[in-house]
Structure 1
Amino acid sequence: MKEILLSTVSGFAVGLLFAKLKLPVPAPPTLAGVMGIVGMFLGYMLAMRFGVR
């Protein structure tokens, strides 16, 4: 849980910094893009859990 909280706070800080510096965000700018990344992560974790290679 600590890792999740720290990574969320770090990501939030980086997002603020990128906005302040007027740089493009190095991530998909839409919720659909973010959910695509989450889906890839979950698919990978599922494959590793069941030994799919």
Structure 2
Amino acid sequence: MKIVILATLTGFLVGFLFALLKLPIPAPPALPGIMGIVGIYLGFKAFEVIAPWFQELMK
């Protein structure tokens, strides 16, 4: 949980700094950005499930 809080705080500070400096937000639009992150996470988890099957096939 500590990592989640630190990541949220870091994101908040970066967003605040970009707004202060009048720079464009360093992220895609809200929903597409969140879905991209979810997709990356799901792809990573899918690989963890599928990788052992590939290792068995390579033997």
TM over 0.5: yes
1:22 aligns with 2:7: no
> In proportion to residue count, which structure has more helix?
2
The letter of the residue matching 2:25 is: V
- Segments of 4+ moved more than 3 angstroms: none
CA distance in 2, matches of 1:33, 1:26: 11
Give unpaired runs (5+ residues) of structure 2. Answer: 55-59
Question: Cα RMSD between the aligned structures?
Answer: 1.9
Identity, in percent, stands at 54
TM-score by length of 2: 0.68
TM-score by length of 1: 0.73
